Each structure stands twice: as C-alpha cells, then as structure tokens.
Amino acid sequence: MRFMKRQPYPSDISNAEWEKLQPLLPQSKRGAPRRVNMREIINALRYLNRTGCQWRMLPHDLQPWEKVYYYLSEWRDSGDWERINRELRIEIRVSVSKDPEGFVKK
C-alpha cells in the first residue's frame, strides 16, 4: 500500500517556523528515535488552537487526540512548553530590536 500525504490545513506550521521550533523540542526520553512525527503533533496542537475544536474532534488525518494530548501534557508538566514559548518570544523580540525580556523601563 502506498502512503498518501494528507492535504495541508491553514494552521499547519510552515517550513521556516518548523526550522525554528524543531531544535527546541525535548528529545526522546529513551534515546531511541521517536516513531511519531513531532511536526504532526505541533500541527494538531495548532489546529486545536486555531479552530477551538474538542480534542476528540481532531480530524482523522491528524495524529490521534490521545497522542497529541500526551505530548502537550508531558511538555506542560516538565516545563518544556513554558521554556519553548519563552525562547521563541525572546527570539522574536530581539529580531524587532526590543528588550528580550519585555520589561517596561521606567
């Protein structure tokens, strides 16, 4: 059987965005390569955020909702989600010549 690539959603991460995000994602805890496509986990999270749909209403061509929820929960509980957001926010602020931490100067 031949694998068919799914049609993209407007919420899918772009190649440029993925290049920035991929190195920030935590590595597999077991040291072995992951069997799940982490880009598709991110695409599912972005779909959920963009559409506001329920977890169990994720389209069938995205990763199963349980798998997506597992990774989000792991990243939230480990602090990785906050770390990733902080690092991306700093990078964006620096790119537009703003204070990296965003503190209001008095």
Q: How far is CA 14 from CA 17, 18, 97, in A?
A: 5, 6, 24
Q: What is the mean pLDDT of the chain?
A: 90
Yes or no: say if 81 and 75 are a contact pair by the CB < 8 Å rule.
yes
Using 70 as the pLDDT threshold, list the residues of the chain that sit under it.
Answer: 1-4, 103-106
Report the C-alpha gap between 82 and 80 in whole angstroms. Answer: 5
Predicted pLDDT at 28: 85
pLDDT digits (tens, 9 = 90+) for 40-55: 999 999 999 999 999 9
Q: State residue 7's pLDDT score.
A: 93
Q: What pTM was estimated for this model as a whole? A: 0.84
Domain residue spans of the chain: 36-106
Q: What are phi and psi of 80, to 5 degrees?
A: -65, -40
Q: How many residues belong to the chain?
A: 106
